[in-house]
Amino acid sequence: MARPVSIAVCQFVIKPVASFDAWAQQVVGLLDQARGADLAIFPELFTLSLFTTLPDWQNRPVAELIQVDRYTQAYRDFFAAEARARGQHIVAGSHLEKRGDGYLNVSYVYGPNGLVHEHEKTHIFPAEANWSTGEGTRMEAFDLPFARVGINICYETEIPECAASLTEQGAEIILCPSFTFTEYGFWRVRHCAQSRCIENQIYYVHCATGGDMPPGPLPNGWTRSSIMSPCDTPWAAPNGVVVEAGTNVETVVQGTVDLDLLTLNRATGVAPTFRDRRRRADCYRAWPSHLTPKT
């Protein structure tokens, strides 16, 4: 019996905005296009466009991007209200916010009854250190009414253990808010996301931020968001792409994934990677320590 899950990928393009309300209306426009989906997802750090509400923002140093934290409560209240009003689960991208003595890159998932889960990015991209960003310490899968899922934020996708940890906890879908400043960076994350699908036999949702910014501290993003599956015969597309957005345009694309196909693929697939990548763990443990790369 099929277990379908419909997913709306909201490809957001950051641009200068006059106020939080103007930014929120941009989000609402995408959510309206995501009606009917079980889950809507936004990209990483798409709240950085709120930096443009600050006076003289174009002349501020990149280190001041953490100033978007002033909108944290408004951002959280907004998504909680939208998820409740729409009866929908929403991955609210991710946002830079102050926690303790520093700042973290945090992703939130809201449902009709409020906050469902939050994830603090555990592996920051080196450039994020310029924004005083620290790292979280937990990688946890969690249950939604229609699937068990986990979150990898952008660079975490390039670290295979992040997805493997979630899959070991039973995740069927990994949700990836992402923000890459160049096409090179985009394809690093995209190719790694496809690899995570294949080696774990899971679905992966890569939702990336686009950018249309004038000169200033805010980077432009490069995006072609997608939903991916393992490259195997249960799925129609040989390349493993369930659905894909256009390049660097603000849009919503919807796709449906069947969770039962994952079970079938693990049992009868041509490449049983989820089983086999664990079957010879003795070989990995025996890796000679003198061959380990030095940092």
Q: CA 104, CA 126: separation in Å to the nearest integer?
A: 14
Q: CA 155, CA 166: separation in Å to the nearest integer?
A: 15
Q: Give CA angle at 157 (201, 154), nearest 5°.
A: 135
Helix spans in 143-250 (H):
160-168, 183-200
Q: Catalytic annotation on 44?
A: yes
Q: Which of 44, 120, 128, 156 is catalytic?
A: 44
Q: CA 256, CA 238: separation in Å to the nearest integer?
A: 16
Q: CA 103, CA 96: separation in Å to the nearest integer?
A: 6
Q: Which of 97, 118, 121, 158 is catalytic?
A: 121
Q: Which of 154, 162, 197, 207 is catalytic?
A: 154
Q: Give CA angle at 137 (77, 133), nearest 5°.
A: 65
Q: Catalytic annotation on 121?
A: yes
E-strand spans in the chain?
4-11, 13-14, 39-41, 89-99, 102-111, 114-120, 142-144, 147-151, 173-178, 203-208, 210-211, 226-228, 241-244, 251-258
What residues act catalytically? 44, 121, 154
